[in-house]
Amino acid sequence: MKILTIGRNTFRENIRDKILYNLILFALLMILSSIALGQLTLGHEAKVIVDLGLGSISIFGTLIAIFIGISLVYKELEKRTVYALLAKPIHRWEFITGKYLGLLFTLLVNVAIMAAGLMLTLLYQGGIERYTYLNLLPAIYLTLLSLMVTTALALVFSTFSTPALSALFTFFLWVAGHFNADLLEFGNLAKTPGLKWLTRVFYYVIPNISNFKVIDSRNVIQAAAYFEPINYAALGWVTVYGILYSGILLGIAVLIFSRRDFK
């Protein structure tokens, strides 16, 4: 119950943040601009719209997750509101989990707005089968899962670092997380067993953000020649991965925050 209260307040606080509106507006503009870009291509207009739409949702969702995630704890410390909060019968883990869930809910609402924008754009473009809209949902779901991991990552850094450094660390790991497969490939090509081993360790330790890209426009537009059916087994394993990884990060954030001395 306390977690939900903290989460609700975090959500309210977030929706008052101006940066959020700027980012959503920019994302919606990007999605709308796909109509113009779609006309520049020779065929595949729907693919361009879907690619740009899903890309915008993912990128702007990540920016929101990072920029708000990094200040979640820091802001409370800076304004000294954390002292008042922790003086109440609230455990530190409840505080962290509540903050995390509040931001996740904020992201859910934002992604829903952006997804609606994408669907309206597709509707305007026309010629899209009804099931295309349904096929978009797993892709959007995966984007949310990736945001869940990114938010947890930002939260971990925000428990012990400044917002600027936290943003840098989170962004760095998010970028690195897109190159996990290349890292593994690099290790496989390497002649040194030590390097091979090291790349394998990094492959599992660095959040594998590319896991959340197993669904894209190729799985959405069913009428297209390049269509590939959605791999639901992969979707299931990505879900397990996302929950496990976020759980670990949340656990680390709670542990760090619990050991912090606020005197």
Partner 1 sequence: MKGTLSIGAIQLILACAISAALIKPVQDRLDDRVGKSTKVLDLLYFGSPTAVKRLALGYDGLLADVYWMRAIQYYGRREEAQRRPVLYGNLAALLDITTTLDPHLLNAYRFGGVFLGEPEPMGAGQPQEAIRIIDRGIRAFPLEWHLRFDKGFIYFWYVSDYRKAGDVWLEASRVPGAPKWLEGLAAMGLSKSGAVETARMLWQRQYDEAERAEVKENARKYLLTMQINEDCWTLEFFVEKFRKRFGRRPAMLQDLVSSGLLKDVARDPSRVPYRYDPASGRVRISPETQLGYLKKMPYDYRDPFLKKLEERYGPD
- Our CB check for partner 1 shows the closer of 35 and 248 to be 248
Of 22, 123, 234, 262, the residue at the interface with partner 1 (CB under 8 A) is: 234
Q: Count of residues binding partner 1 (CB under 8 A)? A: 30
- Our CB check for partner 1 shows the closer of 89 and 127 to be 89
The stretch near partner 1 (CB under 8 A) out of 5-13, 28-36, 112-120, 241-249 is: 241-249
- Our CB check for partner 1 shows the closer of 176 and 248 to be 248
Of 26, 93, 105, 179, the residue at the interface with partner 1 (CB under 8 A) is: 93
Check binding of 79 to partner 1 (CB under 8 A). Answer: no
Residue type, 188: N
Check binding of 129 to partner 1 (CB under 8 A). Answer: no
The stretch near partner 1 (CB under 8 A) out of 78-86, 134-142, 169-177, 249-257 is: 249-257
Check binding of 208 to partner 1 (CB under 8 A). Answer: yes
Check binding of 195 to partner 1 (CB under 8 A). Answer: no
Of 197, 227, 237, 262, the residue at the interface with partner 1 (CB under 8 A) is: 237
Check binding of 247 to partner 1 (CB under 8 A). Answer: yes
Distance from C-alpha of 11 to C-alpha of 64, rounded to nearest angstrom: 13
Interacting residues toward partner 1 by CB under 8 A = 93, 185, 188-189, 203-204, 208, 211, 214, 218, 226, 228, 231, 233-234, 237-238, 240-241, 244-245, 247-248, 251-252, 254-255, 258-259, 261
